[in-house]
Amino acid sequence: MAYNCHMKDYYSHCMLCPRMCRADRSESFGYCRSGDEPNVNLYKLHYGEEPIISGVRGSGTVFFEGCSLKCCFCQNYGISRGETGRGLVLDADGLSDIYLKLQDMGAHNINLVTPMHYAPTVSESVARAKAGGLDIPVAVNSSGYDLPDTIKLFDGLADIFIPDMKFYSSALSSRYCNAPDYFQRACMAIDTMVDITGGPVLGSDGMLKKGVIVRHLMMPSALFDTKHIIDYLTSRYGDRIYISLMGQYTPMPHILNSEKAGPALKKTLSKEHYKKMTEYLISTGQQNAFVQDEGASGDEYIPDFI
């Protein structure tokens, strides 16, 4: 891949995420298990997102391999480790072509899933796509474990941010993803995202054109962690963001077979706990919120990666 000198600098001493591993990703992998070339495992029209993202035609979703957070329970474990060897290695022009193809397929938006460890190249690809005729919103979908300076690479390019707010407790984030500073990092990241987009803007079709959706996947035996997160998000942002409370945690095969994983991760979320927290979220007066149907299955949200 031919990078300009400025783009090479980002990858040669990598500090794109809070791990700040300083790897020369042109020579070896960083903590994210990724080199300096974006690797796309899958792109498709995806119908499993929030209604204001998926709509009736689907979200043009691009799944990148690798991840700098590496939750041990990852629902996309097959690609987050960056070890499939089957993804498409693409430069900014190749990514741009994918976005335009998805637009031609009727996508409501372009949805970039876990792109932050490739942010310099991906942000450049969005700029090229927009110059080439992309006129649907672009969403950046991340773990929330992001640096403000990296997020700012998408300022003026991303219309929507969809970060996770996974943990309040540093004990949980340490245990599950070796990131005791997760909550503090996610707070700064979401602040930056809201600063860039402002409050939510819906189009005449009811689809989100601009704004932030913060997702929280409830974890088994972590009810009070969820309560703390709801309290924080509603008190700090209120209806300036959407909150998506998810209850589809699914124990993946690698967890079920792991001797190191604790018993909590080997079971699904209690329906009673999810119901209790949906009722709590509603009780806060938050208008911009999504909850899932009681019968929703975790498996239906996990694409068939290559």
pLDDT at residue 294 in the model: 66
pLDDT at 252: 85
State pLDDT tens for residues 76-85: 877 877 666 6
Q: Is residue 300 part of a domain?
A: no
Per-residue pLDDT at 1 = 36
In a domain, residue 179? The reply is: yes
Please tell me the predicted confidence (pLDDT) of residue 166.
98
Residue 5 is predicted with a pLDDT of: 46
Token pair of 231 as six digits: 């309290």
Q: Confirm whether 17 is domain-assigned.
A: no
* pTM recorded for the entire structure: 0.93
Q: How many domains does the chain have?
A: 1
Residue 89 located in a structural domain? yes
Residue 2, pLDDT score: 38
Structure tokens at 189: 């990241």
- Cα 55–Cα 59–Cα 65 angle in degrees, nearest 5: 150
Q: Does residue 60 lie within any of the structural domains?
A: yes
What range does the domain containing 201 cover?
36-282
In a domain, 254, yes or no: yes
Instruction: Note whether residue 14 is domain-resident.
Output: no
Given this model, what pLDDT does residue 296 score?
A: 53
Please indicate, yes or no, if residue 290 is contained in any of the structural domains. Answer: no
pLDDT along the chain (306 residues), means of 10: 60 96 93 94 95 98 95 83 77 98 98 97 98 98 98 98 98 95 98 98 97 97 97 98 96 79 88 96 97 63 50
Residue 198 sits in a domain whose CATH number is 3.20.20.70
